[in-house]
Structure 1
Amino acid sequence: DKGILKMYPASPDEIGTVTDIARSMLLQVETLTKQLKHQATTDFLTGLGNRRALMEQMPIIRAKAARPEEAVSLILFDLDHFKRINDEYGHDAGDNVLMAIGEAVKDHLRPYDYAARMGGEEFCIVLPGADLAAAESVAERLRHAVESRVVEPLPKGRITGSFGVAQARPTERLQELLLRADAALYSAKDQGRNVVVRAQP
């Protein structure tokens, strides 16, 4: 009511206090929103992105690569016989393995690469600016790093992964790229596991 405002005008100090409170509340909301966004797009075990985050990031990565017509490649891998690790050593050991693999992946990323845990024991790495040969080289180094990880009480060499590598076609959608990489991954399993296989062009 304007009459009440005339009778009891706010002092400059009161206006400043209200403004400070409003600013503080907005900052808290912004911080909380960022935290919720991070939780919604980050895998809590490995600290990598999750499938949802990959789906959000891939169009951005492809758009950046399209301008200079750079290659974009993808590595899809999963851990061999992971269910047996959970069955033989318990789910805590399984979680420790996933965390160790998350660290191995981070160790092999360039600043502009993107990695996600797709669910279960499956991981995906997107490599902007990398052709198929370069991606295959990264996958081979990562395969060796996975095989070298020791997570007690598992014996050394017990943790291995099978890798599928694919280079994106110019107009290929993410789902199609993932399917080709997935087919290569299953070919790696058919070849005895713990190997890297290129996707069919």
Structure 2
Amino acid sequence: MEKLNVLTILVLTALNLSTVSAALFLIMGKGISRAARLAQFSLLSQTLGWVCIISSGFVFGHWLDPVLSTAAMVLASAANYLMFLALQAWLGPRPHQRALLALLVLMPLGYALSFQDYSLRVGYANLLFAFQLAIVSRAALGPRQPAGLRWRALVALCYAAVACASLARGVLGAFYPELYPTFDAPHPVNVVAQLTANLALVLTTVAVLVAWREEAEGQLREQAFTDNLTGLLNRHGWDDRAPALFDQARRHRTPLALIMMDLDHFKRINDTQGHEVGDQVLRVVGKVLQSNRRSSDLAARIGGEEFALLLPQTDKRAALHVEQRLRLALQEEGIQQPNLRVGYSAGLALLQPGDQKLTGFMVRADAALYQAKAQGRGRLLQAD
């Protein structure tokens, strides 16, 4: 009866995984990110691994036993690596990827080669499997990021718990094989390990769903803050993000430059060349700004043909260099239309002690911009 109880837990775990994997594919649908897709395949790989290990128990002593058992190790290791890749896609580069990849190969290989030595294979496989789980747990937490801390902590806790259970089971199989002769042995350590795996499955699935939801919310927020035509921030995005950079520069007394740009004779382009050409011009300007800004800079289309570029840690000399580079890049990019020359006027404002709010900072840059237009366009003037 005890043995049946352990086997029942194993079967329930496999059924839970199968149901969860199918549910995730149905709930998330097709149009999901690479990270979400990797998480789905991680759970699917776990499902197949559990099916293989349970099936091997029904062919004990048959040549299929080592085949199915080794396949289970391959699939379990692959599931860990896929979850690592999912975390990496969500959170950026994670540590110890090469070590995990090596363990992905070494664990199933060593398991297969030592299959006839029960103590060696169980101890070896569970030890390396615990290392895999520990790496995934570490990947969920660090390097630290403010985003998704709760679901990441849940993933880390689940993988750490299963790692501890795997390590305990490995010690039991390696040094006390008489107490743990098969994977469904009713030893308390094995029972706890199976229950831990089942619970971790449920909680990890919850964490994946939360991560997917946060990702979707972030994408919607990004769409709301992005100008569809140029790919730059729109006015809402600018108003959301620029004040933080402005306040940071004031607080730390670091240089900050603002370039306000307005395309010259843009209305004439629309009237004579058509709105399609006008849209093409805007797209080219957006491309030039995107490709010539640093990751710390903010570029936005804040009006019909008006753009803003906020440059942290940038003094006058550096700001002038940035503007010259933009003007040259725009000339080199070119528009495939005869008799069409795209240029702009710009105003430059440098942060001063008297600048208390971003709006006032922008007013100064705007004033310089309109002075540039009044003086003949196609030039940059600095605000007082």
Q: Is TM more than 0.5 here?
A: yes
Shift of 1:18: 5.9
Q: 1:169 is matched with which residue: 348, 352, 372? A: 352
The residue number in structure 1 matching 2:334 is 150
Q: 1:181 is matched with which residue: 346, 360, 365? A: 365
1:20–1:145: structure 2 CA closer, same or farther, 3 Å change rule? closer
User: Within 2, Cα distance between the matches of 1:184 and 1:44?
Assistant: 28
Unaligned runs of 5+ residues in structure 1 are 1-10
1:19–1:141: structure 2 CA closer, same or farther, 3 Å change rule? closer
Please tell me whether the aligned partners of residues 45 and 98 of structure 1 are also in contact (alpha carbons under 8 angstroms). yes
Residue 74 in structure 1 maps to residue 74 in structure 2 = no
Q: How many pairs align?
A: 189
User: Within 2, Cα distance between the matches of 1:154 and 1:141?
Assistant: 24
Aligned-CA RMSD value:
2.3
User: Within 1, Cα distance between the matches of 2:371 and 2:284?
Assistant: 25
Report which of the two structures shows the higher radius of gyration computed on alpha carbons: 2
User: Within 2, Cα distance between the matches of 1:173 and 1:133?
Assistant: 23
User: Within 2, Cα distance between the matches of 1:22 and 1:110?
Assistant: 37
The residue number in structure 1 matching 2:222 is 38
Which residue type is aligned with residue 114 of structure 1? L
Deviation readout 1:77-107 (Å, 9 max, x if unpaired): 0101111111111111111111111111123
Length-normalised TM-score, structure 2: 0.45
Q: 2:242 is matched with which residue: 58, 64, 84? A: 58
Unaligned runs of 5+ residues in structure 2 are 1-10, 17-197
More deviation in 26-35 or 171-180? Answer: 26-35
Deviation readout 1:129-188 (Å, 9 max, x if unpaired): 1123321232233223334432122435x1000010001223431100111100100001
Please tell me whether the aligned partners of residues 246 and 358 of structure 2 are also in contact (alpha carbons under 8 angstroms). no
Please tell me whether the aligned partners of residues 147 and 161 of structure 1 are also in contact (alpha carbons under 8 angstroms). no
Normalized per residue, the structure richer in helix is 2
Runs of 4+ in 1 over 3 A off after TM superposition: 11-25
User: Within 1, Cα distance between the matches of 2:337 and 2:370?
Assistant: 28
The residue number in structure 1 matching 2:323 is 139
User: Within 2, Cα distance between the matches of 1:98 and 1:192?
Assistant: 22
Query: Identity over aligned residues, as a percent?
Result: 40
Secondary structure of the residue that 2:296 maps to in structure 1? coil
Shift of 1:12: 5.6
Shift of 1:59: 2.9
Residue 194 in structure 1 maps to residue 382 in structure 2 = no
Shift of 1:25: 3.5
More deviation in 30-39 or 50-59? Answer: 50-59
User: Within 2, Cα distance between the matches of 1:78 and 1:147?
Assistant: 15
Residue 117 in structure 1 maps to residue 301 in structure 2 = yes
Please tell me whether the aligned partners of residues 139 and 165 of structure 1 are also in contact (alpha carbons under 8 angstroms). no
More relative contact order, 1 or 2 (CA 8 Å, 6+ apart): 1
Length-normalised TM-score, structure 1: 0.83
Which residue type is aligned with residue 380 of structure 2? V
User: Within 2, Cα distance between the matches of 1:193 and 1:61?
Assistant: 29
The residue number in structure 1 matching 2:131 is none
The residue number in structure 2 matching 1:47 is 231
Normalized per residue, the structure richer in strand is 1
